[in-house]
Amino acid sequence: MDIIAIIDKLYETNNAEREELLYLVENIKEEEKSYLMRKAKETTEKNYSNKVFMRGLIELTNFCKNDCYYCGIRRSNKNAERYRLNLEDILSCCKTGHELGFRTFVIQGGEDMHYTDDKLVEIVKAIRENYPDCAITLSLGEKPYESYKKYFDAGADRYLLRHETADEEHYRMLHPESMSLANRKECLYNLKKIGYQVGSGFMVGSPYQTKENLVDDLLFLKELNPHMVGLGPFIPHKETDFRDESHGTLEMTLVMIALVRLMLPKALIPATTALGTIDPKGREMGFDAGANVIMPNLSPSEVRKKYLLYDNKVSTGDEAAESLRAITAKIRDAGYEVDMTRGDNIEWKR
């Protein structure tokens, strides 16, 4: 098989056979990688020009009822210092963010039962009323259809829920019995049905992951056809059983970003904090591979050190304004234009 021909096929048809993807992932060489990145970037530019969309991230809570083996805020991490933001904290983050120009807020957290549906509806409504010009994205894990519907009706626009891995057996190796890939997928299809812009994605280089698993992740995303795709390297956390595992590589993460871009040309793809954590230039390289979103942290600086999904997470103690200035400068230096609008997926209509 000819890797350049596979890349050309992906570029032209946004699809490839399983065998072709696997061959590419297993055999791609430096020169072919540069070609892949070039084609991916061209695809981003055709759809979104050279814009990088900004989202303000608010980390709601690091309490979690789940016990995902890889995650630093898993229930059985007894050394995590837990916190919760209340409505007032959240609105204050939004105020700061809005003044800085953010028009998307992403509320992310563990699965914390303290936030009942009523509380979450209250939060979404308050943000919606105060900031009618902003997109509200939630990333709060698995919920029943009715709960997702309530948040949507209260004004939430988007929902992020990575599938993590599309292979049943691999899913089992990363999650306890109480969780299932089937439920995760059902949640994703429910979110789409309700009308959210949906984001999914996976970790690159998570323990026991094979190249076949990665190809399955790509094929699952192609089938789901989400509006957004978040993917970043797995990074071990010292308070988990995966503490001695190695992190996902920069190279493989970039290849995956580029392949997702070619398969889902109109997706919004963040250059993740995890990517910026394994390499100081990781996020810029992510943009060169087809990413076009960045999510600066708007959480209060006291809690940022506590929302630790993995070790060494890059986080400045800076005020939001200061870190926005720094990030903006980096994006411009890398040759991209900072876009502070809502930045909806170009195919989406409410």
List residues near ligand SAH by CB under 6 A.
Answer: 70-71, 108, 110-111, 139, 141, 161-162, 164, 203, 232, 234-235, 237, 274, 309-310
Task: Report yes or no: 100 and 131 within 8 Å, Cβ to Cβ.
Answer: no
Which of 70, 20, 75, 64 lies closest to 170, judged by CA?
Answer: 70
User: The sheet that has 293-294: what strands, in order across it?
Assistant: 293-294, 51-54, 337-339
Nearer to ligand SAH by Cβ, of 245 and 288: the residue is 245
Smallest distance, ligand SAH to C-beta of residue 345, A: 19
Nearer to ligand SAH by Cβ, of 6 and 309: the residue is 309
Q: Helix axis angle, 3-13 relative to 18-27, nearest 10°?
A: 130
Compute the distance between CA of residue 334 and CA of residue 155 in angstroms, rounded to an integer: 35
- The length of the chain, given as a count of residues: 350
Characterize 125-162 residue by residue with b for buried, 16 or more Cβ atoms within 10 angstroms of its Cβ, and e for exposed: bbbeeebeebbbbbbbbbbeeebbbbbbebbbbbbbbb
Smallest distance, ligand SAH to C-beta of residue 329, A: 26
Compute the distance between CA of residue 95 and CA of residue 99 in angstroms, rounded to an integer: 6
Nearer to ligand SAH by Cβ, of 48 and 115: the residue is 115
Bridge-based pairing of strands 337-339 and 56-61 is: unpaired
Smallest distance, ligand SAH to C-beta of residue 201, A: 7
Smallest distance, ligand SAH to C-beta of residue 145, A: 16
Smallest distance, ligand SAH to C-beta of residue 115, A: 12
Nearer to ligand SAH by Cβ, of 56 and 110: the residue is 110
Nearer to ligand SAH by Cβ, of 51 and 313: the residue is 313
Compute the distance between CA of residue 154 and CA of residue 152 in angstroms, rounded to an integer: 5
Smallest distance, ligand SAH to C-beta of residue 203, A: 5
Nearer to ligand SAH by Cβ, of 237 and 261: the residue is 237
Smallest distance, ligand SAH to C-beta of residue 20, A: 26
Which of 31, 348, 312 lies closest to 197, judged by CA?
Answer: 348
Nearer to ligand SAH by Cβ, of 7 and 254: the residue is 254
DSSP code of residue 242 = T
Take residue 158 and report the two structure tokens written for it.
Answer: 């988007």
